[in-house]
Structure 1
Amino acid sequence: MSKAVLITGGNLGSVAENLEAAREAISREVGVVERCSSVLESEAWGFEAEERFLNQVLVVATALPPEQLLERCLQIERQLGRVRRPGPRYGSRTMDIDLLFYDNRVVDSDRLTIPHPRIAERDFVLAPLEEVLPDYVHPVLKKTIRQLRRELLQAANPPGADGMKN
């Protein structure tokens, strides 16, 4: 069995219920959910939205290869009301399921990039990821999740940014 790390999230509809439904569907259709982070509430990333997002990281033992896992996640999104439309990349949604890691594999195809290319830019990903896999080493960046989060938080609030001397 391979280990896949997924993040589920959304900001439309019954978001907490959708997160639970996604977790249950992943358990039925993808594999054994071995670990779950707590649910994190966050602002939208990459666009403006009135509704805040809820996100949760899941560590899943799966027999599905990465491409099939992606397709199954897209099916679950659709089952939970996700409609993908042409236009802006980022927007409000009932459910989004991203594949963050798959074992220590690096995949770069037209359809799939693993590890997810924007992990290190997003605290709404790193915070719950740090909760469940703090010492996991990113296979491309060669840093632990804890290190990546610390660097992101330091970049967002550099020493002296508050006007105080260090």
Structure 2
Amino acid sequence: MKVLILLGGNEGDTPTIFQLAIELIARRAGRVVAVSSLYESSPWGFEAKRNFLNCVLELETTLEPEVLLDTLLKVEGELGRKRPEGIGYASRPIDIDILFIDNLVIDSDALIVPHPRLHLRRFTLLPLNELWAGWLHPVFGKTVGDLLQDCEDQGMVKLHSHSLEP
């Protein structure tokens, strides 16, 4: 299966944490085929002292979707992510979100695919558009490029100077 994944974070040495995440994901979940540029963005949905970094990676995997989710959550935990109960958006060293799995539509208690808010967030759409502009959203029937063009999010998003390796 082809999976598009968003990495985000704003605590610690984010580029190093992302590179470690990419290596762990490749070891445990499949082959990382491509990684977008790194983007810097203002926090979305809350106030924070530091901006976020984000990138999108393409993963080829044979893992079932919920097994993949469990694997990614374990990688998050190993890299310092804590999920305190009752707290919504917060600063974190890493967040790993599944954006798309092939053209699947999944709506379970554990996993919703495509990611339910990806079309609202420029910090997701810009790195996604960099390598996968023609990817068709299976629910909206629009390409990533069209979703980016229609996105009303005005938050700051800019290219970051650091690059990552698959």
Q: What CA distance in whole angstroms lies between the structure 2 residues aligned with 1:16 and 1:34?
A: 18
Residue in structure 1 matched with residue 104 of structure 2 by the alignment: 105
Aligned mates of 2:38, 2:19 — CA distance in 1: 10
Q: Distance in 1 between matches of 2:46 and 2:107?
A: 26
**How do 1:62-101 and structure 2 match up within 5 A?**
62-101=61-100
CA deviations on 1:78-122 (whole Å, 9 max, x unpaired) are: 010111101222100011000000000000001100000001100
**How many residue pairs align between the two structures?**
154
| Corresponding residue of 1:142 | 141
Q: Which secondary structure does the structure 2 equivalent of 1:59 belong to?
A: strand
Take 1:130 and 1:22, find their aligned partners in 2: how far apart are those partners?
A: 21
How far apart are residue 35 of structure 1 and its match? 1.0
Q: What's the % identity of the aligned pairs?
A: 45
In 1, the alpha carbon distance for the partners of 2:98 and 2:36 equals 15
The TM-score, its normalising length taken from structure 1, stands at: 0.90
Unaligned runs of 5+ in 1: 157-166
Q: Distance in 1 between matches of 2:26 and 2:84?
A: 27
Q: Specify the alignment match of 1:131 in structure 2.
A: 130
Partner SS state of residue 8, structure 1? strand
Aligned to 1:163: none
Q: Following the alignment from structure 2 to structure 1, what is the Cα–Cα distance between the partners of residues 111 and 125? A: 20
Q: CA RMSD in A?
A: 1.0
Q: How big is the shift at 1:132?
A: 1.2
Aligned amino acid, residue 130 of structure 2: E
Q: Which has the higher contact order (CA 8 A, sep 6+)?
A: 2
Deviation, 1:9, is 1.1
In the alignment, the residues of structure 2 paired with residue 89 and residue 67 of structure 1 have an alpha-carbon distance, to the nearest angstrom, of 22
Structure 1 runs of 4+ aligned residues shifted over 4 Å read none
For structure 2, the 5+ residue unaligned runs are 155-166
Larger radius of gyration: 1
Counterpart residue type for residue 23 of structure 2: E
Q: Separation in 2 of the partners of 1:95 and 1:78? A: 9
Residue 128 of structure 1: CA displacement? 0.1
TM-score normalised to structure 2 length? 0.90
